[in-house]
Amino acid sequence: MTCEVSGAAADRVGRRSGAMVAERQRAKPAARSGVMADEDGDSDKFEEEEWDDDAQSQRGGVRQSRQAKWGNGFMILMYIFETYLDIRQHRALKLPTLPKPLVGVISGEKFERSRAYSLDKSKFHFIHEAVTILMDTTILYYRVLPWVWKKSGELATNAGLNAENEILHTLAFLAGVMIWSQITDLPFSLYSTFVIEAKHGFNKQTIWLFIRDMIKGILLSILLGPPIVAAIIIIVQNGGPYLAIYLWGFMFALSLVMMTIYPIVIAPLFNKFTPLPEGVLREKIEKLAASLSFPLKKLFVVDGSTRSSHSNAYMYGFFKNKRIVLYDTLIQQCSSEDEIVSVIAHELGHWKLNHTVYSFVAVQLLMFLQFGGYTLVRNSKDLFESFGFEDQPVIIGLIIFQADAFAKNLGYAPQLRAALVKLQIRGIQPTTTPIHPLLKGSLLLKTQTAKRKTNGKLIHLKHRSLYSSMGYLTVSWNRFNVRDVNGMCEYMRSTILTYTPSISQFSLQAPMLSLSTPSSPPPPLPPRRATTAPTPVSLLRGAADRRDAPLTSALHAALLKSGALDRTQPLTASNSLLHAYLQCGLLSDALRLLDEMPRRDAATCASLVSALCRLGAPLDAIRAYMDMLTQDADDEDGGLRPNEFTAAALLQACGLAKVARLGRMVHGHLVTSGFCCDPFVVGSLVNTYAKVGDVVSAEKLLLGMDSRDVVSWTALLSGCVLNGMLAEALKVFVMMLEDNVLPNNVTMLSVIQACSLMGESGLFSSLHALVVRLGLENDVSVVNSLIIMYAKNGFVEEATGLFEDLYLRRGDVCPNSDVLSALLFGCTVSGSLKYGKGIHAHLIKMNDLPSISIENSLMGMYARFEQVDAAYVVFKGMQIKDIVSWNTMISCLAKSDHVDEALELFSILHGGDGLVPDFVTVLSVVQACSNAGLLQQGQMLHGYIIKSGSLYDVSICNALISMYAKLGRIDFSEQIFEQMDIKDIVSWNSMINAYGIHGDGLSSLRIFNELQDDGTCSPNAITFVSLISACSHSGLVSEGYRCFQSMKNDYRIEPSMDHYASVVDLLGRSGRFAEAEQFIRNMPVHPNSSIWGPLLAACSLYGNIDLAEKAAIELSILEPESDIWRVSLSNVYAVVGRWKDSAKIRTEMKRVGLKKEAGWSFVDVGGVEGFKFVAADTRHGDSEQIYAVLRSMNKHMADVAGDVHQSSLVSVIS
């Protein structure tokens, strides 16, 4: 951006210089003509021409005065118009109300700070503009510039310079203009920097730094200005008919030069540029640049905080030499690396979308047109001075939003939103829209009042409510063409924040949903009836409500005795009895009663169909309906006549059956029965189609309804969520809002569930704010869904905040299991043990653990954080334990190196009478034996697996292969692998890795070839990590590198850092350090500790001290607190005999408190006793005998080695 400003400044210098040169060129011919006439002696002619010149001068003066007035008038009109718009904006800034799009985004206090800052800047802008227009008008009206031009020539002459020299005269003129500009602009710069910016906490520079920057700027102008001006004047003097092309070519070249040297030479004169340190942020930026093919060469951090707390980031460079600069304030103000990367993604969006190229081309084209226009008027007698109006066109805003969308599509939507909000808040930029309200409001008012649909579409982007108010509900969605989930979610968020009418507007538009106080008194209550004795029918209703089966049977007998169930009697008693039996779950009694009923009506059918649906038999419900429909067709009264309640019950059965074809058949039946226009039935049809997944038909029915209520919209939305059509559900919700239908709690439950499942965190705060605006913040089900949404997506702080508001402050209320499970899950995955302990404390305080699943979740959370004691306390306190409880505790103990306790729990579970260990239990115990080196216990567990029949489970076989390989019994691993009937890719990888552990790379390659020939599985990334590692441990360098190349070329698997680390280890172990270094330099990603660590370890094998020190330097930057690289470097020094350096590192480690954990081994003595020991360990009771045997073995091996060496020498001599 700075480079473009420099090019524009040079452009303005060129235009001013060109104008002055043209004026001088027009003056010269007249002067030469006068001199020639004098030499020829034609004095009369000279006097006549002089008189004509005077007259022309007077007429020219009149014309120029008139032009000056016109110019002044035009400038004043423009000033008045812009000031009027600024006043409108100033009034908008004075409004104390937080704009709706910012509700829930920034607090009221921060909004007030932003408003105060904007108002101060606005007031200063008024004064600055007024003084500027006053000075410009005065300069133009009193012809100050020609006077300055004349005086500058006189000063140049007095200074001994040749004023006839265009270059010297122009430089003197520009020097005077520059001095005047600096003097007049200095007070405003000082006030803006040290009063306004300092008042609001932005200014960080001192007065001396300000003066130093100003002096540097003046010196740069003196250094760069004269050559540029001289070149422009020479081009104007000699350009001829191609002047415009020459001028443009020069300015084009100058722009490229300035864009090149400014960030490299000029900018460092004002700011300090330091390379961005190695770390997570640098890796993420480089990864982002690589994914976009951005040729990033260098990353800098500039000390912007020395002058201001405003933040920024920019990029520069040509072709393959791109660089990115971050302001240190940007790094300080963003709370995470992802937020910073999202801002970089926005900037890279400008590059990827060619905005920089378009801008540069547009500037060059405008410059060429300006030079072309100058060549047309430069030879005329009247050269009009032009005015430039610097403004921000609408296209700039469009470009910014395109870059935002680009960053969003890269997956940085929530981070970019959070970063921009933070930068907006800390930069307290104006929060009121810069589009002047009067112009926008007038256009909208006219459009909506006159129902001008065409004009309404022209401003559809900002005012989508026009569509629904004009009957364009479907156009409202399709017009915005939301093709992807990200775009649709962003559209939905903006709709919630900026479109949704207020609650009062809903009250006006939909009186039946009004939440306001009614304007007329409520109707009088009906008179109370006299108390009467209960009838059998009323008793049956009570029995049905209480599900009282004995009372229902007794009433049945009473009705039979009274004759109320006879054929001649109304069906009221029979239907009530049928309904009571069905409510009590006595289906056989209900069917027997149904067979005994002399006839049936619509109520009978509706009760039976609804009951069967409730019992989970929707197909039986439809069959019963069809049976009643056909059996009663020959009755005297025409048989069963369905009503809207029967139709609704039938459609409910179709929805539960989830058979779309059946739903369409029932739809046809209802149409022929005359229910196609009934709103209640159509709403049920919408619900049915949505539940069976036919959203298109459901939406078509819904949009065809004359009146759409919240029930029909919610039915369609819930059906979409039920069928996993989450994006469609959000689309329906947006359409519902645009239809001016107020969501209810059921609607919000479905929408929140959809957003939660999609993980669209950018919508979470918007939905939360909408819940509050709808008055549902005390609805337990809605708040529970919000808690689950936040917790399952890792927003634990927000989830626990809602949990505290709803439950902790109301000590008598306990949350349900779903909420607690979600909260504990969120605490587990996000690493928030503090919040998890708080929830546990609340449950202990309430003395209520709702279910086993909650206790299991608590154990899982403590196991995740290796809080073994806390997990065991929960486990011991459980009244009832299921298999998940045992598995969680055993896995926790096994992963925390409490192997004995894990095996003991497994024995207790195995010996119990209730639960049986499952494959998860077995996997945990196998892993424990593998990690602890317990071969005997592993073999016993293998026997249990065979006996229990679990050996056919592929995952258990894979675990056994790995276990035996780690315990040294590769033959057992081979046996299990060969006996497996079904092998997955994990099986092949386990066997390849097993051979690699034992240094048998050839066998690993053989297994890999068998995998390729088998064809049932395809190698994955882990396959090649194991394969290359196996080749590394076997010295098969060429084979390992071929595997690496095959992974990229044959299988199209993109190498990860593990693959690169394996190749470096492969080359390092074989001593090919030059190749390893070259490989690291050619890596497309920046190497991390997994690359330099193996290289440093390899250096200790060969004593490569130079490369070891280089690797250690890199590791010290990446992992400054680690002791691993220090120990490795100390070992390298010891290998090459630099004992002082080795001891120095060890001493430094002790000084800073770093201590390396001693290496240990584990021996299993006959399956009876296991012992863990370290080097020179004497804790064992038989340590003297053990070391005696060890010394004897060492002596024997030394003797054998000596005999072999001696025999080798003899063979060589002979």
Q: Which residues are catalytic?
A: 347, 404
Could you tell me the sign of the dihedral formed by the alpha carbons of 712, 718, 722, 723, in that order? positive
SS3 string of 895-963?
A: HCCCHHHHHHHHHHHHHCCCCCCCHHHHHHHHHHHHHHCCHHHHHHHHHHHHHHCHHHCHHHHHHHHHH
| 847 contacts: CB under 8 Å, gap ≥ 6 | none
Nearest to 653 by CA among 680, 676, 623: 623
Residue tagged 């306990």 (tokens):
814
**Position 553, amino acid:** S
3-state helix, strand, coil in the chain (%, to 5): 75, 5, 25
Backbone φ/ψ region at 145: left (φ over 0), alpha (ψ -120 to 50), beta: alpha
Beta bridge partners of 274: 301
350 known ligand binder: yes
The closest alpha carbon to 476, from 760, 737, 755, belongs to 737
Residue at token pair 């090459």: 1136
β-strands 322-327, 1160-1165 pairing: unpaired
Calculate the CA 1141 to chain-centre distance: 48
End-to-end CA distance of the chain: 82
CA distance 1068 to 209: 52
Classify 533 as helix, strand or coil.
Answer: coil
Cα(376)–Cα(390) distance, integer angstroms: 24
- Which residues partner with 252 through β-bridges? none
Contact of 1051 with 1019, CB cutoff 8 Å = yes
Q: Cβ distance 119 to 128 under 8 Å? A: no
- Start-end of H helices in 353-383: 355-377
Cβ atoms < 10 Å from Cβ of 809:
8
> How far is residue 820's CA from residue 817's CA, in Å, rounded to a whole number?
5
Please count the other Cβ atoms lying within 10 Å of the Cβ belonging to residue 434.
10
Q: Which two tokens stand for residue 248?
A: 């443009």
As given in the structure block, the two tokens for residue 1043 are 């595997």
Q: How far apart are CA 251 and CA 360, in angstroms?
A: 12
Type of residue numbered 1084 = P
Question: Annotation-wise, does 942 bind a ligand?
Answer: no
Q: Which two tokens mark 1177?
A: 């360990």
Question: CB under 8 Å to 494, separation ≥6 — which residues?
Answer: 101
- Coil/strand/helix, residue 1173: strand
- Residue 654 vs residues 610, 658, 675, 684: alpha-carbon distances, Å: 11, 6, 16, 10
In this structure, are residues 910 and 947 in contact, taking their beta carbons and an 8 Å threshold? no
Q: Strands 296-302 and 313-316: what pairing?
A: unpaired
Give the HSE-up count for residue 281: Cα atoms under 13 Å, Cβ half-sphere.
Answer: 22
Closest CA to 488 of 892, 760, 724, 891: 760
> Rounded to the nearest 5°, which phi and psi values hold at 324?
-120, 135
| Farthest-apart Cα atoms in the chain, separation | 151
The rounded Cα 936 to chain-centroid distance in angstroms is 50
Q: Give the number of other CB atoms < 10 A from CB of residue 219.
A: 11
Which residues, at least 6 apart from 451, have a Cβ–Cβ distance to it below 8 Å?
Answer: 470
Would you list which residues are annotated within the binding site for Zn(2+)? 346, 350
Would you list which residues are annotated within the binding site? 346, 350
